[in-house]
Structure 1
Amino acid sequence: MSATELLASVQAELAPRDRENRLVPLITAGEAPRSVFATIAAEELRIVRSDWRSCLTLAARSEEPAVREFFADLAAGERLALGKLPALAAAAGLDDAALDAYEPQAGCQAYPAYFAWLALNGEPSDVVIALYSNFAAWGSYCAAITGAMREQYGFDDEACAFFDFFATPAPGADEQAAAAVQTGLDAGRGDREARRYARLFQSYELMFWNTLADQPG
């Protein structure tokens, strides 16, 4: 099995559960409270900072150049995304004092906590498979949200920039991920752990959205 085939196989295994996200349909219908965007901004400020460090850690641990480049580029993306969150927070009504006072929710922070664990314990090429396999769902969620933010909630382009950033895959991302995964295949590593990581990533991703869907309006 080639790297491209492996990535497609793992994504196909995960795809049926992508529809278990209960918040995005509420947002696209305009039925989620506007306050949910403030919560997303406050949670994501912590998540993105953590994920940025996790990507840098994995880049430092990676012995293969293709894997190192994959995580280094992801880290650069997280840095750019972090810079777009203050506008979302402000548009949603959060000032610096409110952000400092906000208490993060366990269901929202489980994903970055697991990513941080993988950054220390996972085989980097396996983590590539797990992350990439969840990119399609994350991108589709972001595309749906950013459209609804404008059409249903009246947010401007600056407030939508965080979700806009992730709504479209970066050019060459597919090829870069395949090259990184191929190094693991060439080294004779199997895909069992990678599939396990991917399944858990998906579960924690869904936990993030559904925790927000369940909070009082």
Structure 2
Amino acid sequence: MVSKTSNDMTSELFTDCLNAEIDGLENLKILAEAMNIDNRKMDLYEPLSGCQAYTNYLTKLAVYGSDAEILAALLTDLPVWGYNCGKMSSMLQKNYGFDNNSCVFLDSFASALPKEFTDKSNELILSSIISPYYEKDIHTATGLILDYELLFWDTLYKHSIINQ
């Protein structure tokens, strides 16, 4: 996403997203350790297609979508993702004795998006809507990303009850 942006401001926004993902990956290791998921278990993990759909769609947007489509999808979905992460963190802490450190991955996403990020993103999105065609593409991107978000959580739920 960063390499194909149309301007410096968008490049900065996407770099912020990349840095959050890098931090998230490090924090995910802490959560995995708290759940007794070691490297061997990770190596043996078989991906669930319903959980992969979101990232595959976001990758498609990163390669083929406009800056506005990507930013609109992120602005629309990240609060939903964050809310769900916050709920999961609360449940893990309340019901399973996880501590704040073990839930740092979830809690970092549960925080509101920085105002500067949302303001700049909205400015770029609005400036790119130069015809109904672009508006439709943005609408499609935001709708699909939410559908894939729901599919992710539904897939986790489905597989959690199957394996009980």
| 3-state SS in 2 of match to 1:158 | coil
Q: Cα distance, 1:171 vs. partner? A: 2.7
- Given that 1:128 and 1:177 are in contact with CA atoms closer than 8 Å, whether structure 2 keeps it comes out as yes
Residue 68 (structure 2) aligned to one of 125, 143, 153 = 125
Tell me how far 1:152 sits from its aligned partner. 1.3
Question: Structure 1 stretches of 5 or more lacking a match?
Answer: 1-57
What are the residue-to-residue correspondences of 1:3-14 with 2, within 5 Å? Answer: none
After the TM superposition, which segments of 4 or more aligned residues of structure 1 sit over 3 Å from their partners?
none
Q: Tell me, what secondary structure is at the counterpart of 2:112?
A: coil
How many Å separate the matches in 2 of 1:127 and 1:160? 27
Q: How far did residue 195 of structure 1 move?
A: 0.7
**2:28–2:105 contact (8 Å) kept in structure 1:** yes
| 2:45 pairs with one of 75, 78, 102 | 102
Determine the C-alpha separation between the residues in 2 that align with 1:183 and 1:68: 16
Residue 85 (structure 1) shift: 0.7
How many correspondences in the alignment?
158
Partner of 1:33: none
Cα-Cα RMSD: 1.4
Structure 2 Cα separation of the partners of residues 103 and 121 of structure 1 = 28
* Equivalent of 2:56 in 71, 95, 113: 113
Show the counterpart of 1:202: 146
Q: Which residue of 2 aligns with 1:90?
A: 33
Query: Partner of 1:177 in structure 2?
Result: 121
CA contact (8 A) 2:53 2:148 kept: yes
Counterpart residue type for residue 209 of structure 1: W
After superposition, the C-alpha distances for 1:93-133 in whole angstroms (9 at most, x for unaligned) are 11111111111111100111111111111111221112211
TM-superposed CA distance for 1:176, in Å, is: 2.6
- Residue 143, structure 1, aligned to residue 82, structure 2: no
Letter in 2 for 1:114: Y
How many angstroms apart in 1 are the aligned matches of 2:41 and 2:79?
32
TM-score w.r.t. structure 1 length? 0.69
State the TM-score, normalized to the length of structure 2. Answer: 0.90
CA distance in 2, matches of 1:150, 1:67: 37
Paired with 1:123 and 1:151, the residues of 2 have a C-alpha distance of 42
Q: Confirm or deny: 8 A CA contact 2:61 2:69 kept in the other structure.
A: no
Query: Which residue number corresponds to residue 74 of structure 1?
Result: 17
Alpha-carbon separation, structure 2, partners of 1:68 and 1:181: 14
Can you give the 5+ residue segments of structure 2 that lack an aligned partner in the other structure? none
Q: Matched residues in 1 for 2:153 and 2:140: separation? A: 21
1:54 alignment counterpart: none
The amino acid of 2:112's aligned partner reads P
Q: Structure 1 residue aligned with 2:135, among 187, 191, 196?
A: 191
CA contact (8 A) 2:51 2:151 kept: yes
Percent of aligned positions that are identical: 29
